[in-house]
DNA sequence: TGAGAAGATGGTAACGGTCCCAGTATTTTC
DNA sequence: GAAAATACTGGGACCGTTACCATCTTCTCA
């Protein structure tokens, strides 16, 4: 009979029942040191009979390891993060780590709180898709505390000791625009969430594109592709949108009304693609005959709609996996150099892009 | 200067610096007992200067509370669970709890392992969408250990002390089929993932529909609606599909080929709906003129495709919220009775359902 | 002014493991 | 058969908190 139904058996209970000391019981169960076969047997039996389950908290206090990785992302329900999280989860499980998850709704205050809480719980590493690329003091502190940091999708240049895993947004974006250029398009609009500071073009040319957040990097890719084809970048063709379907829809309608010469549109995100696609349907613009449409990030519905949507796919799951690998790698090798891991996008040509309409 | 960069300040360090005892420092920081204003001030200053962060592990060892809820679900990347998880996350954060997440890929062995690990980490409660409705010994054990259990979406009748949060699958399903019946359909096919034992109809009539897993409950709802309209349930109209788009597509094509008299199809899951929708496109069957299609669980793409898809929506986010509320409620009130919380579905009529074609 | 209550404080025992060290039992070696 | 090497075992310190209790100080009021 157990003393109390809520009192879980401890290693002392096991030792007592097996008639050995705490130390011997611990050795037998954890499998270190040396224990006689007879003692091991009795301890194992006792543990089974008492349904002994070691207390991870106590173990972690001693070892200083929790075998837990913290994950801090803005929105779990988004297609991108949900898939990345599956990658993280799989890689973590394979390496024997568990996941402590925080969703921040893109709120910097909540991100700070989440990071503090994870640090208090003594996670071994943190994977974070930071809300801000500049406001990262709370992340820098983590490294000082000996917690490995891996950045997912969004950079944070000030966090020196963190690895950064992302898609080659600039390259993937150029790929999308080059596809349109190859088809013969010259007036190409872009629907983007990015807000750029004045003079960003010069800054980008002299600086490091790696410190750009994804939306900005994709805009740069668009510009680079145009430049490569000898086409002037026109600010007017950049339709700014909030991160929502309805906003993208409105932005697209505005763009097409104001600049009827445009023959193709590039949407820098799957949420925005959905809005733009809806706009074309609303305006009853035939796609790709009148307007070609290309999106970023593949989605289930891309093959269900008509025309099927041409996209540049990004490896969401792999991105998650890679970030977990970096984070866990950094635990075992704390002195390791900061690494940037950049995965590639892939062009998937479907039916929403075609040759530009005749003038 | 700190002794070691990796050695985080403890409460003893703070006490030393503030010139008080460990106990006083603890009282000042945790805000219990009584502490003089002067002492409190000095402790707070010292804590700030040392950037003191309490160690949650040590605290949890004493208090027996981790302020953590474990979440065990089959697939984070699925639309349903991703949205439910957001609800869980929000509700947990509001109540001051954190989330320890495990994805099981629908593997019972992984579920068992995950549950054991969470128990070892001494989570206060677990929210689980179990892989199996019968193989639940590992969940029953949790209750004995004093860990609150809330079941999400999938029942586990043997786990007596757990709350169960789900959609009224039977009712929502009937709603979908009644909509088709109201339009005049009489030959209604169903694409489902459920595999039913022989004689299930009689078993259901005499037994408890709450112990059915969602897919089965939806099939029952389909049968109930037909019965309510005085229409015979026909086994041949039940197209079994694996949980994948391609399988649903094949099942749909088979169904329509074999039983050309069918005028409407009900898909019991969004993944299956996508497959059926693709099948109609492939076969160039005009929808809703030749075949009406209704799906279960709303999705982004439902308004993007043509025709727009009619569905019964289930409140994924709310389901997650409710499960977290139940789990956390059960922590503070361990003696509380088992509760079943059932939310309702909602019919959203769009363009994929219409009157049956003339004979 | 002195007794008693209330306030403030420090010492110490938990919590449940791991890990080191010293001591004892057993085996190996010549 | 004794010395040395090795296997095994138990005691106790430790991780960083909280919780309890005893003590000391200060305040209140007859």
User: Cα dist. A6→B64, B142, B146, B333 in Å?
Assistant: 11, 10, 5, 14
Give B-chain residues touching A244 at CB under 8 angstroms.
none
Q: Is B332 on the interface with A (CB under 8 A)?
A: no
Per the structure, the residue whose CA is closest to nucleotide D6 at C1' is A34
Res A19: pLDDT: 94
User: What gap in Å lies between CA B21 and CA B27, rounded to an integer?
Assistant: 10
A334 vs A244, which has greater pLDDT?
A244
Is the Cα dihedral A62, A63, A67, A70 positive or negative?
A: positive
pLDDT at B1 over 70: no
Q: Which of A70, A148, A72 is nearest to A111 (CA)?
A: A72
pLDDT tens-digit readout, B83-107: 999 999 999 999 999 999 999 999 9
pLDDT value at residue A2: 34
- Mean per-residue pLDDT for A40-67? 95
pLDDT at A94: 97
Query: d(Cα A159, Cα A126) in Å, to the nearest integer?
Result: 13
pLDDT at residue number B2: 34
Query: What is the H or E stretch that residue B245 is in?
Result: helix B245-258
pLDDT at B197: 85
A287 falls in which pLDDT band (50, 70, 90)? very high
The mean per-residue pLDDT over the stretch A298-320 comes to 97
A338–chain B Cβ distance below 8 A for any pair: no
Over residues A90-101, the mean pLDDT reads: 98
Which residue is closest, via its CA, to the C1' of D19? B62
Pinpoint the alpha helices (H) of chain A.
Answer: 11-18, 22-30, 37-50, 56-63, 79-94, 108-120, 137-144, 169-182, 200-206, 214-228, 245-258, 270-282, 316-332
Distance B224 CA to D12 C1' (A): 69
CA distance, residue A209 to nearest chain B CA (Å)? 30
Distance from CA of B83 to the nearest CA of A (A): 5
Question: What order do you get walking across the sheet with A238-240 strand by strand?
Answer: A238-240, A188-192, A264-267, A292-296, A310-313, A346-348
Q: What is the pLDDT of residue B6?
A: 56
Task: Please count the helices (runs of H) and the strands (runs of E) in chain B.
Answer: 13, 12
B78, B47, B314, B52: which is closest to B176 by C-alpha?
B314
List, for residues B281-334, the tens digit of each pLDDT value: 999 999 999 999 999 999 999 999 999 999 999 999 999 999 999 999 999 887
**Which among B263, B288, B291 is positioned nearest to B349, based on CA atoms?**
B288
Residue B81: both structure tokens together: 């669970």
Record: contact A57-B61, CB cut-off 8 A: yes
Distance, Å, B262 CA → D10 C1': 79
Yes or no, beta carbons of A300 and B305 under 8 Å apart? no
> Which residues is B152 bridged to in the sheet?
B165
- What are A107-138's pLDDT values in tens digits? 999 999 999 999 999 999 999 999 999 999 99
Residues of A in contact with B82 (CB under 8 A): 76-78, 82
Angstrom distance (rounded) from CA B25 to CA B33: 11
The string of pLDDT tens digits covering residues B170-181 is 999 999 999 999
Q: What is the residue-wise DSSP string for A53-86?
A: ---HHHHHHHHS---EEEEEES-TTSHHHHHHHH
pLDDT of residue B5: 44
pLDDT given at position A333: 82
Report d(CA A88, CA A85) in Å as an integer: 5
Nucleotides of strand C under 7 angstroms from a protein beta carbon: 7-12, 14-21
Residue B121 to residue A305, Cβ atoms within 8 A: no
* Location of structure tokens 């059932």: B342
Count other C-beta atoms under 10 Å from residue A37's C-beta: 8
Does position A269 have pLDDT exceeding 60, yes or no?
Answer: yes
pLDDT of residue B71: 98
Q: Which residue of A has its CA nearest to B145?
A: A6
Highest mean pLDDT, choosing among A262-266, B31-35, B131-135: A262-266
Strand A346-348 and strand A310-313: the pairing is antiparallel
The pLDDT, as a whole number, for residue B3 is 35
- Residue A341: left (phi > 0), alpha (psi -120 to 50), or beta? beta
Cα B320 → chain centroid: 6
A299 touches chain B (CB under 8 A): yes
> Which pLDDT tens digit goes with each residue over A132-189?
999 999 999 998 888 999 999 999 999 988 999 999 999 999 999 999 999 999 999 9
Tokens of B1: 């200067």
Q: Has residue A196 got a pLDDT over 60?
A: yes
**Burial letters for A110-141: b for 16+ Cβ neighbours within 10 Å, e otherwise?**
bbbebbebbbbbbbbbbbbbbbebeebebbeb
A146 in contact with B, Cβ within 8 Å: yes
Asked whether the predicted pLDDT for residue A359 surpasses 80, the reply is: no
For the stretch B209-226, pLDDT in tens is 678 999 999 999 999 999
Do residue B304 and residue A100 have CB atoms under 8 angstroms apart? no
**Partner-chain contact A102 B89, CB within 8 Å:** yes
- Nearest nt to the CA of A61 via C1' is D15
Report the distance from CA of residue A93 to the C1' of nucleotide C28 in Å, as an integer. Answer: 45
State the pTM of this model.
0.95
Check pLDDT > 60 for residue B120: yes
Angle at A142 between CA A138 and CA A148, to 5 degrees: 135
- Candidate ranges A250-254, B8-12, B131-135, B207-211; pick with highest mean pLDDT: A250-254
Determine the angle formed by the axes of helices A137-144 and A108-120, rounding to 10 degrees.
10
Mean pLDDT of A207-214: 80
* Residue A76, Ramachandran bin (φ over 0: left; ψ between -120 and 50: alpha; else beta): alpha
Most confident range (mean pLDDT) of B35-44, B198-207, B315-324 is: B315-324
Residue bearing tokens 């309490």 = B54
**Interface contact flag, B119 A300, Cβ < 8 Å:** no
Position A6 confidence tier, pLDDT thresholds 50, 70, 90: low
The Cβ of residue B90 has, within 10 Å, a number of other Cβ atoms equal to: 17
Cβ separation B57–A77 shorter than 8 A: no
Mean pLDDT of all residues in A286-296: 97
């Amino acid at each position: 009979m157990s003393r109390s139904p809520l009192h879980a058996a401890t290693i002392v209970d096991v030792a007592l029942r097996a008639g050995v000391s705490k130390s011997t019981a611990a050795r037998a169960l954890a499998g270190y040191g040396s224990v006689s076969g007879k003692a091991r047997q009795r301890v194992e039996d006792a543990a089974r009979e008492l349904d002994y389950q070691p207390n991870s908290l106590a173990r972690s206090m001693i070892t200083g390891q929790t075998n837990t990785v913290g994950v801090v992302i803005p929105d779990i329900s988004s297609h991108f993060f949900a898939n990345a999280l599956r990658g993280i989860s799989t890689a973590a499980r394979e390496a024997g780590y568990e996941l402590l998850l925080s969703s921040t709704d893109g709120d910097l205050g909540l991100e700070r709180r989440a990071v503090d809480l994870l640090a208090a719980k003594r996670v071994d590493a943190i994977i974070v898709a930071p809300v801000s690329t500049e406001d990262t003091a709370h992340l820098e502190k983590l490294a000082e505390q000996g917690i490995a940091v891996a950045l997912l999708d969004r950079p944070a240049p000030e966090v020196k000791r963190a690895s950064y895993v992302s898609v080659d947004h600039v390259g993937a974006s150029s790929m999308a625009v080059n596809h349109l250029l190859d088809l013969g398009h010259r007036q190409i609009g872009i629907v983007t969430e990015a807000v750029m500071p004045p003079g960003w073009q010069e800054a980008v040319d002299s600086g490091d594109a790696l410190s750009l957040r994804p939306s900005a990097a994709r805009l740069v890719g668009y510009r680079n592709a145009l430049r490569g084809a000898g086409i002037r970048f026109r600010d007017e063709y950049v339709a700014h949108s909030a991160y929502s379907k309805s906003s993208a829809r409105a932005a697209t309608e505005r763009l097409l009304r104001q600049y009827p010469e445009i023959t193709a549109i590039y949407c820098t995100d799957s949420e925005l693609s959905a809005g733009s696609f809806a706009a074309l349907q609303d305006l009853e613009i035939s796609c790709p005959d009148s307007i070609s449409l290309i999106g970023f990030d593949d989605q289930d519905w891309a093959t269900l709609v008509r025309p099927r949507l041409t996209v540049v796919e990004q490896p969401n799951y792999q991105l998650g996996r890679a970030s977990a690998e970096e984070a866990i790698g950094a635990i075992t090798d704390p002195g390791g150099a900061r690494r940037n891991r950049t995965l590639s996008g892939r062009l998937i040509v479907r039916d929403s892009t075609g040759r530009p309409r005749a003038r």
